[in-house]
A and B are shown apart, each in its own frame.
Chain A
Amino acid sequence: MSLRVENLTVRLPLPNGSVVHAASDVSLDVPRGTITALVGESGCGKSILASAVMDQLPAGARRSGSITVTTPQGALDVFAGEPFRGLHAALVPQSAATHLTPVRTARSQLDETITTLGSPRTSDELAVRVGLDPSALDCYPHELSGGMAQRVAVAGALAGDPSVIVADEPTASLDRALTDRVLGLLRECADDGAAVLLITHDLASLVRTGVADRLAVMYASRLMETGPAAEVFDDPWHDYTRDLLGALPSRGLHPLPGSPPQLTDLPDDCVYFLRRPETRQSGGPTALVQVGDRSYRTLREVA
């Protein structure tokens, strides 16, 4: 394994006293050389996983569980406080241009990353690797168009040759052609040996491009289903996954009723039944049941 998330629970207290349940008992394994896609509707808590892997949770966050990155030197606990960002795990952020310092060129920041991490690469080399014209690096972040900014972000993530790459909604504001390009780039990164965690709400692109090896489905801070992507697309085991797939244009465009719940002060049990009252996999204590290399959430059997 290159990235292992074990029983991660994240609670974010708000100033007015309520608590946001960003993640509840999430466990995920991302083997090296593969892309695991974490999907769910907006606001289900998936992005908090990106912050958690990079140990950049908001101040005041309460967490339990562990996140381990396997490096050539051994296992590394990301919450331990040892330097690892960029070297062993890297982030491709959502709005890449705003994650770069506005008054410096892309090149200057990329060079800085390279020097800090002690990487043997050069920024031109990284630019070419991600399909960018090296002269584009001389732009300021706000001068980069969306696709270029995203590629600069990937270049920055690759600078230290990390074992784990977390991509947080990398194609959120891109059109189809650019989405396919960026996803293809991530595929190349995985093929080169990295473990890629791809967080996205764009299930349609995943189905279309087939870049993901494994799929994990999240709803209201909990995992609903995991498994090899192709199998899950063909034969989803959880009602929610079926709902998500059913909402795709290619599968008939049956949108889900209602909207995803707010994560504030969620009850202790899975709340999917509030969205789909007829489901038999929610509405009481639930657990993730593992069957082979797939798992799905269902009501726990009263022992």
Chain B
Amino acid sequence: MARRNLVIAGSVLAVVVLYAVLVPWLAGVDDRVTDFAQARQAPSADHLFGTDSAGRDLFVRIASGIRTSLVVALLCALLATVIGVVVGTAAGFWGGWPDRIIMRSTDAVNALPHLLLGIVIVAMFRGSLLAIVLSIALTHWTQVARIIRSEILSLRQRPYIDAAVLAGASRRQVAVRHLVPATAPQAMIAVVLLLPHAVWHESTLSFLGFGLPPHEPSLGTLLEEARSSLLLGGWWTLVFPAAVLVIVTLAVAFAGQALRKVITPPQPSELRL
């Protein structure tokens, strides 16, 4: 069941990625070129998704949007996972006081509204890709840290760790050579599960006007542009980017959930006799 979901979600994602990669390349139309004579055209044979208020073809522009959104989201998810793995491993490995302090800090970060911190950071460092990536990564590493920490805690009990220690490995060697690589599956899953959140956040920040410059639009930026078009009756400027955003988010989320079910071993059931 989970495998089937994974295949479906994966196929949808593959289609989307193909769209994002192939269309700009094949269409040969530069989506930066503005042509106000063609502004606000409804979908037609020439412009499958219509044009926006500056006359740019939306079919191609959305493709760039997908690319930007996914790339930025991937960077955020990777960075958040790296931070989470480091912090989680430290907490699980050292235990005791360091663990408690770290867990308290994650509670504090969790308690704060993520988007607010994100808004504040990107407002101050506007237009910088690093600011966007940091603002999302710095507020999302906590889930990863928690998962990695419990993995480490349960792995520490395994016999092969004892064996390594008895064989003379130092604590650091045990951590680096045995524990961290064993968390790789969970880390991978964490990256995939974080992607929808990252897309969500990045598109929201872009929508609010704090995102990347307009020549590198993400889906959020496109939706922000749609906002003004709407009042003038251009429904296609909203529907197509929104639909693509939703499809991408859902497909990634489904793929992540299915991946997790496939990788995590099933639990035995209990019967009392």
Q: Which residues of A contact B (CB under 8 A)?
A: 12, 14-15, 20, 22, 43-48, 58, 263
Whether the pair B269, A22 counts as a contact (CB closer than 8 A) is no
CB contacts under 8 Å to A, within B218-273, are 269, 271-273
Q: Complex Cα distance A45/B269, Å? A: 17
Asked if B271 contacts A44 (CB within 8 A), the reply is no
13 A-B pairs besides A22-B273, A44-B273, A58-B271 with CB distance below 8 A are: A12-B271, A14-B269, A14-B271, A15-B269, A20-B271, A20-B273, A43-B273, A45-B273, A46-B273, A47-B272, A47-B273, A48-B273, A263-B273
Q: Is the interface of B mostly helix, strand, loop or mixed?
A: loop
Q: How far is the CB of B121 from chain A (nearest CB, A)?
A: 42
Chain A CB within 10 Å, residue with most, of B269, B272, B273 = B273
Q: Which residues of B contact A (CB under 8 A)?
A: 269, 271-273
Closest Cβ neighbor of B269 among chain A residues: A15
13 example contacts (A-B, Cβ-Cβ < 8 A) are as follows A14-B269, A15-B269, A20-B271, A20-B273, A22-B273, A43-B273, A44-B273, A45-B273, A46-B273, A47-B272, A48-B273, A58-B271, A263-B273
**What residues of B have a CB within 8 angstroms of the CB of A58 in the complex?**
271
Chain A residues near B272: list those with CB within 8 A. Answer: 47
CB distance from A167 to the nearest CB of B (A): 16
CA distance A50 to B272 in the complex (A): 11
Nearest neighbor of A12 in chain B, beta-carbon distance? B271
- Complex Cα gap A20–B273 (Å): 10
Q: How far is the CA of A251 from the CA of B273 in the complex (A)?
A: 28
- The complex places the Cα of A46 from the Cα of B272 at a distance, in Å, of 10
Separation of A263 and B271 alpha carbons in the complex (Å): 11
Output the nearest chain B residue to A22 by Cβ-Cβ distance.
Answer: B273
CA A45 to CA B271, docked complex, whole Å: 11
Within the complex, what minimum Cβ distance (angstroms) separates B202 from chain A? 42
Which residue of chain A lies nearest to B272 when distances are taken between CB atoms in the complex? Answer: A47
Determine the chain B residues whose CB is within 8 A of the CB of A47 once the complex forms: 272-273
Nearest B residue to A10, CB-CB: B273
| Separation of A14 and B269 alpha carbons in the complex (Å) | 9
**Closest B residue by C-beta to A21:** B273
Min CB distance, A56 to chain B, in Å?
A: 12
Cα(A22)–Cα(B272), bound, Å:
10
In the assembled complex, which residues on chain A have CB atoms less than 8 Å from the CB atom of B271?
12, 14, 20, 58
Q: How far is the CA of A257 from the CA of B71 in the complex (A)?
A: 65
- Whole-angstrom distance between the Cβ of B205 and the nearest chain A Cβ: 42
Q: How far is the CA of A58 from the CA of B270 in the complex (A)?
A: 12
- State A243–B184 Cα separation when bound (angstroms): 53
Residues in A whose Cβ lies below 8 Å from that of B269: 14-15
Residues from chain B with a CB closer than 8 A to the CB of A263 are: 273
- Top 4 A-B pairs, shortest CB-CB distance: A45-B273, A43-B273, A47-B273, A22-B273
